[in-house]
């Protein structure tokens, strides 16, 4: 049995995103053209479609406020921000001079950014 994967609205851009597909499953599709006269015969899309996670290279951008470096007086707070995207969602960690930072600061991660927040910076940070 064939199931319609969209409502009756016409898609003039000739592109359709089909939601709620299951990763790893196989699907076959048909396409129909519709005009004022009605719906034409189906056209089978050749081959099957296997649902996979879309993979995108990681892109990272530092917040403009820190691109040229940061100077903070000892005892003052510091917030370092970076924005990223990629698929699957990247995991973020902070390093200083190539080694993991001992967490005096508290990282805050979202799906698009990471921030390292140190409430009272020390000379050793």
At residue 115, the 3 state secondary structure works out as: strand
On the question of pLDDT at 11 being above 70, the answer is no
The pLDDT score that the predictor gives to residue 35 is 84
pLDDT: is 30 or 124 the higher one?
30
How confident is the model over 74-98, as a mean pLDDT? 88
At residue 82, the 3 state secondary structure works out as: strand
Separation CA 66–CA 89 (nearest Å): 23
20-32: pLDDT as tens digits: 899 999 999 998 8
Phi-psi region of 112 (alpha: psi -120 to 50; beta: other; left: phi over 0): alpha
Q: What angle do CA 64, 86, 102 make, to 5 degrees?
A: 65
Which residues lie below 8 Å from residue 65, measured CB to CB, with a gap of 6+? 81
């Amino acid at each position: 049995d064939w199931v319609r994967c969209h409502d009756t609205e016409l898609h003039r851009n000739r592109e359709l995103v089909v939601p709620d597909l299951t990763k790893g499953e196989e699907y076959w599709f048909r396409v129909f053209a519709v005009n004022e006269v009605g719906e034409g015969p189906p056209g089978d899309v050749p081959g099957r479609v296997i649902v996979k996670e879309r993979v995108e290279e990681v892109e990272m951008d530092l917040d403009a406020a820190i691109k040229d470096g940061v100077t903070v007086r000892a005892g003052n707070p510091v917030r370092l921000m970076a924005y990223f995207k990629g698929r699957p969602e990247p995991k973020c960690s902070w390093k200083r001079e190539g080694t993991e930072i001992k967490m005096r600061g508290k990282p805050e991660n979202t799906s698009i950014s990471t921030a390292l927040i140190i409430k009272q910076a020390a000379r050793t940070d």
